[in-house]
Amino acid sequence: MLNKLCTLFVLLLIGNSLMAQSVSHYEDPYYSPFERYVYQPGSGFHTAVRQFRMDQLEEVINTDSVLYDGLRVPDGKLNFWKRIWHDDLFKLEHDDINIVVNPIFSFEGGRDNTDGLSTWTNTRGLFIKGNIGKHLYFYTDFVENQAVVPNYVDAFARETNMMPGQGQRKDFGDNGHDFAQATGYIGFNFAKYFNLQLGNGKHFIGDGHRSLLLSDGAFSYPYAKLTADFWNIKYMVMWNKMLQYDQEADNTDYRYPGRYGVFQYLDWNMGKRLSIGFYANVVYAEQDSTGHRGFDMHYLNPVNFFRPVEYNLGSPDNVTMGLNARYIAAKWLTLYGQFVLGEFKFDEVKSGEKWWANKHGFQLGARTFNLFGIDKLDLQLEYNQVRPYTYSHYTTMYAYGHMNQPMAHILGANFREALAILKCRKKRWLFKAEVMATTYGLDYGDGISWGKDVFMPNTERPYDYGHTIGQGLETEVFNADFNVSFLINPRNMFNVVAGARIRNLTNDQETMDTQHFYFGVRTSIKSLYNNF
């Protein structure tokens, strides 16, 4: 039904007068070149909705100047080899047709000293983006990977059968993993204020390194997204389809059970510094208890409020709501935060008895730029916490997740986390230091849910009252990564990197140490997270 809906939208729009605008493909949070410029007083930029649109960025900055800031680029026509080092690999510009092709790669080697394991990554792919006439813009990419990864990433992959953020894996050799991913979209602008995008990919809502509302840490999914920009408002509604990985799937038919999601976000710039965003989503199974349902037309209206609709349907759907706030205190300082609400009863909160369905969490953070007056020395501090069971539901098929990975915070629920990320750039050199410390409660593996795993039915809880963050198998994790890289080509963030990651996990059942040293040649445009 979602495919039919997308087709209908295309047919309705194809005859309109459209103006194509591309979307930024710089998704890596460590190498994104534009963030320090949009968090400025009076920019009017809606920073919480990612990916950023290039035409809206151009209203704030000259994007080419930012990409090549402080870098010397050869004059005159560039040959093939100079394009590899300085520009797009292939570029077609003819009248109102623009097409760009660039490689995506990561060739990395390393050593996990804890287990005496040699690690490596072999990633090959490319992306193509552009616009054809004034009617459409597009983007597509494909990457193929083989890798031997550090012990904790390997443990995650084998437990979930997914590589973090990159989809389903299969064995490669003795210790390796083989996996692939393809994303893409086609977009239309119409009626001056509106944009429609149809594709397969990820999205992020928030101003932090993490998001408690919608994050890009899970695998890509098909979607139709409608956005409206007018006055000081940006409104987004998105319909998507998520899958529930089923290890017992028929060997002759690998299609997995599906769930639909509908997402609403309204961002309001209240003056030159303050932005407030209102968020809601609903998740429901592709098939209900009778074996029927499909795409629910009740959620098609882009301006419906989900909770009244869900209540009047008499449905078991999983609704999550939230707030996102950002305050640009100065040119060098931005404060931000989020609040997520899965379920709430004031009397239960007031009682202090820690009812299981008081499902909520919050985020507090700060971004600083040019810290201590040092050019391009940036520091981000962030704190996140989410109560047990916040994103789960009474059955796995209504969980807020996709392909065994949460759609919000990468840790799921039942955790506290503190993050610090320091970055410093000097011309082509970039230094990054990242530290994460977290406490969360794991399940014991006996079928009882203590609230972290969003896919575990919350009906399997041990009791109704007395639930606290970290309950279950209390686990402490410290994760730090330090690296230095040299930027070669800013068009696809082609860089050479060397670094080290140190991680320690402890609980009453195990201790896992990681000391991973690595060196690589790569393009850094994708959002991939190993800080968990």
pLDDT tens for each residue of 187-215: 988 877 899 999 999 999 999 999 999 99
Tokens of 418: 């503190």
Task: Find where tokens 């509908």 sit.
Answer: 262
pLDDT in tens, 286-314: 876 656 666 666 677 676 665 555 555 55
Whether the ω angle into residue 51 lies within 30 degrees of 0, i.e. cis, is yes
Alpha-carbon distance of 117 to 516, in angstroms, equals 9
Express each pLDDT in 507-523 by its tens digit: 999 999 999 999 999 99
Is 357 in contact with 389 (CB distance < 8 Å)?
A: yes
Measure the CA–CA gap between 85 and 68, rounded to whole angstroms.
12
Which amino acid type is present at position 515? Q
- In this prediction, residue 437 has a pLDDT band, given cuts at 50, 70 and 90, of very high
The confidence score (pLDDT) of residue 248 equals: 64
- Domain positions in the chain are 2-523
Confidence of residue 18 (pLDDT cuts 50, 70, 90): very low
CA dist 526 and 222 (Å) reads 18
SS3 content of the chain, % helix, strand, coil (to 5): 15, 45, 40
Range scoring the smallest mean pLDDT among 22-26, 65-69, 302-306, 504-508: 302-306
Q: What is the mean pLDDT of residues 239-254?
A: 74
Classify residue 171 by burial, with Cβ atoms within 10 Å: 0-12, 13-18, 19+: exposed
Q: Which residue has the higher pLDDT, 169 or 289?
A: 169
**351-384 residues labelled b (16+ CB within 10 A) or e (exposed):** eeebbbbbbbbbbebbbbbebeeeebbbbbebbb
pLDDT of amino acid 15: 37
Q: Strands 318-330 and 274-285: what pairing? A: antiparallel
Domain over 2-523 is classified CATH 2.40.160.130: yes
Mean pLDDT of the 173-180 span: 93
pLDDT surpassing 90 at residue 452? yes
* Mean pLDDT confidence for 224-247: 91
Mean pLDDT in the chain? 88
Q: Which residue has the higher pLDDT, 155 or 68?
A: 155
Mean pLDDT, range 434-446, rounded to an integer: 95
pLDDT of residue 315: 57
pLDDT band at 5 (very low <50, low <70, confident <90, very high): very low
Kindly tell me if the per-residue pLDDT of 362 is higher than 90.
yes
Contacting residues for 155 by C-beta, under 8 A, at least 6 apart: 512
Helix, strand counts (H, E) of the chain: 8, 26
Q: Reduce the DSSP state of residue 67 to 3 states and report it.
A: helix
State the Cα–Cα distance between residues 323 and 278, nearest whole angstrom.
5
The pLDDT of residue 246 is 74
Q: Tell me how far the alpha carbon of residue 498 is from its chain's centroid.
A: 25
Spatial separation of the C-alpha atoms in residues 348 and 387, rounded to whole Å: 14
The least confident of 147-156, 304-313, 399-408, 521-530 is 304-313
456-496, pLDDT tens digit by residue? Answer: 999 999 999 999 999 999 999 999 999 999 999 999 999 99
Q: What count of other Cβ atoms lies within 10 Å of the Cβ of residue 332?
A: 17
pLDDT band for position 153 (cuts 50, 70, 90): very high
Average pLDDT for 111-137: 90
Instruction: Specify the pLDDT at position 381.
Output: 98
Distance CA 250, CA 253 (A): 5
Residue whose tokens read 């009626």:
191
**Under 8 Å CB-to-CB from 495, ≥6 apart: which residues?**
31, 430, 485, 486, 487, 488, 521, 522, 523, 524
% of the chain with per-residue pLDDT over 70: 88
Identify the pLDDT of residue 251: 56
86 — pLDDT class (breaks 50, 70, 90): confident
Our CA dihedral for 144, 150, 155, 160, rounded to 10 degrees, sits at -20
> CA separation (Å) from 379 to 342, 366, 370, 433, 434?
31, 8, 9, 10, 10
Considering the entire predicted model, what is its pTM?
0.91
Predicted confidence at residue 484, as pLDDT, reads: 98
Mean pLDDT of all residues in 333-359: 88
Q: Which of 21-25, 370-374, 442-446 has the lowest mean pLDDT?
A: 21-25
Contacts of 441 (CB under 8 A, 6+ apart): 388, 414, 415, 450, 451, 452, 469, 470, 471, 472, 473, 474, 475
Sole residue written with tokens 């009076």: 42
* Contact residues for 405 (Cβ-Cβ < 8 A; gap 6+): 160, 162, 164, 165, 217, 218, 219
pLDDT band at 344 (very low <50, low <70, confident <90, very high): confident
Q: What is the pLDDT of residue 14?
A: 39
- Residue 422's DSSP bridge partners are 379, 433
User: Does the structure show a pLDDT above 70 at 284?
Assistant: yes
Rank 234-248, 268-282, 284-298 by mean pLDDT and report only the highest.
268-282
Read off the tokens for 490. Answer: 């800013």
Q: Give the count of beta carbons closer than 10 Å to the beta carbon of residue 451.
A: 31
322 pLDDT above the threshold of 60: yes
Close Cβ partners of 489 (under 8 Å, ≥ 6 residues apart) = 84, 85, 86, 87
CB 490 within 8 A of CB 67: yes
Q: Is the pLDDT of residue 17 over 90?
A: no
Q: What pLDDT, on the 0 to 100 scale, is given for residue 76?
A: 64
Q: What is the dihedral of CA 153, 155, 156, 157, to 10 degrees?
A: 90
Q: Collect all residues with Cβ–Cβ distance below 8 Å to 493 and sequence separation of at least 6.
A: 26, 28, 31, 487, 523, 524, 525
Q: d(Cα 203, Cα 355) in Å, to the nearest integer? A: 32
